[in-house]
């Protein structure tokens, strides 16, 4: 039968130096009893020597079982704390020694101390035909896997913010229509739109945010999918950024109506994104990026009507500059 935890703890207590200190205290007590025998009345020097030895053993045993044990625990805690800090800053120690302290602090706070990251982001925007007020209705879909890297349950503070100083109407008419969470066990949780809070600061009509929070189990991977509707102008730009790291393959797909006259540019990290196999403008603009992204790095997208070039008719002179 396997020993229980109490027995294991009791056995481990008598191992190592504790066993030595225990034996020393037993020997010291035996010596103090032994020197009271009549033999030592005729040998006072031996009695004094053994008494001093017994007291020395008792003092060392008390020190070893109390003060030394406390110091050892403090030293072990200090070493563990240093190891923890080293694990967080090993990248900075190895590669970032020549970086300014402000940059090191930013990496430490936004990357190394983060307990969440996103994997395989899919961003799909569908642009509808323009309305009478020359605005495009846009259906935006986002999908990614959220990963909790810690050994504790964490609260994920979902927040989607919109800013449009030149497009207030589009911001105010935006809404989240669907939100779905799927855990590793396949359980699907539907978040109703009324459960998502809308943040609107007084007088700040060009800003709007949607927020919601949910629990993520230790080492849990949860698929997040949500859809929203907004309205945008016939020409404009937009971007998507995450407050946490993004890894895996990031996909961007933009759909326009058939016989569309729109053209699109998409970039990230100061360069254009690579075309995906299903890239088929002007109705489908599809991109892929097999690289990671730091927190707050953005995917920038701009669109506009294609400028039609008119050819000069035969027999007419082209206008001169």
Residue 40 is given by DSSP the state G
* Residue 87 structure tokens: 């694990």
Residue 310: predicted pLDDT:
39
More confident residue, 299 or 111: 299
Residue 6 has pLDDT above 50, yes or no: no
Q: Please, what is the average pLDDT of the chain?
A: 80
For the segment 2-16, the average pLDDT, to the nearest whole number, is 49
**Whole-angstrom Cα distance, residue 113 to residue 84?**
11
Q: Are 116 and 244 in contact (CB under 8 A)?
A: yes
Q: Are 28 and 61 in contact (CB under 8 A)?
A: yes
For the segment 105-117, the average pLDDT, to the nearest whole number, is 85
Where residue 15 falls among pLDDT bands split at 50, 70, 90?
low
For the segment 82-96, the average pLDDT, to the nearest whole number, is 66
Residue 9: predicted pLDDT:
47
More confident residue, 172 or 85: 172
Where residue 321 falls among pLDDT bands split at 50, 70, 90?
very low
Closest alpha carbon to 140 in 127, 130, 157: 127
Beta-carbon contacts of 301 under 8 Å, excluding residues fewer than 6 positions away, are 125, 237, 238, 239, 240, 252, 254, 264, 265, 266
CATH, domain 116-305, list 1.10.1040.10, 2.40.10.220, 2.40.270.10, 2.60.40.3680: 2.60.40.3680
Structure pTM? 0.67
**Whole-angstrom Cα distance, residue 202 to residue 225?**
30
At 190, phi and psi to the nearest 5? -95, 125
Residue 314 has pLDDT above 60, yes or no: no
Rounded percentage of the chain residues whose pLDDT exceeds 70: 80
**Whole-angstrom Cα distance, residue 274 to residue 264?**
13
Out of 88-92, 170-174, 232-236, 307-311, pick the least confident: 307-311
**Cβ count within 10 A of residue 197:** 11
Residue 33 has pLDDT above 60, yes or no: yes
Closest alpha carbon to 207 in 139, 158, 160, 156: 160
Q: Per-residue pLDDT tens for 194-224?
A: 899 988 877 777 788 899 998 999 999 999 9
Q: Are 228 and 176 in contact (CB under 8 A)?
A: yes
Where residue 108 falls among pLDDT bands split at 50, 70, 90?
confident
**Whole-angstrom Cα distance, residue 46 to residue 184?**
76
Torsion of CA 145, 146, 152, 154, to 10 degrees: -150
At 218, phi and psi to the nearest 5? -60, 135
């Amino acid at each position: 039968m396997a020993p229980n935890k109490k027995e294991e703890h009791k056995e481990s207590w008598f191992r190592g130096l504790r066993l030595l200190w225990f034996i020393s205290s037993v020997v010291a007590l035996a010596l103090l009893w032994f020197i009271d025998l009549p033999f030592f009345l005729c040998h006072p020097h031996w009695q004094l020597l053994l008494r001093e030895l017994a007291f020395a053993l008792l003092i060392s045993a008390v020190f070893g079982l109390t003060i030394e044990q406390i110091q050892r625990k403090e030293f072990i805690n200090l070493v563990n704390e240093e190891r923890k800090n080293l694990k967080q800053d090993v990248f900075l120690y190895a590669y970032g020694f020549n970086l300014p302290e402000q940059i090191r602090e930013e990496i430490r706070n936004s990357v190394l101390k983060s307990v969440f990251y996103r994997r395989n982001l899919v961003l799909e925007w569908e642009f509808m035909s323009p309305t009478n007020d020359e605005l495009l209705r846009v259906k935006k879909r986002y999908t990614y896997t959220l990963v909790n890297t810690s050994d504790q349950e964490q609260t994920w503070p979902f927040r989607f913010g919109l800013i449009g100083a030149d497009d207030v109407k589009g911001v105010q008419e935006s809404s989240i229509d669907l939100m779905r969470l799927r855990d590793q066990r396949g359980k699907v949780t539907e978040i109703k739109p009324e459960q998502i809070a809308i943040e609107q600061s007084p007088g700040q009509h060009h800003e709007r945010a949607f927020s919601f929070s949910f629990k993520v189990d230790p080492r849990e991977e949860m698929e997040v999918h949500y859809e929203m509707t907004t309205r945008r102008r016939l020409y404009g730009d937009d971007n998507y950024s995450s407050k946490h790291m993004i890894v895996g393959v990031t996909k961007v797909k933009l759909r326009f109506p058939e016989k569309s006259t729109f053209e699109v540019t998409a970039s990230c990290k100061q360069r254009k994104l690579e075309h995906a196999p299903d890239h088929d403008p002007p109705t489908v603009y599809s991109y892929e990026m097999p690289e990671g992204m730091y927190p707050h790095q953005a995917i920038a997208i701009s669109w506009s009507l294609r400028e039609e070039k008119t050819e000069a008719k035969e027999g007419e002179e082209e206008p001169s500059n």
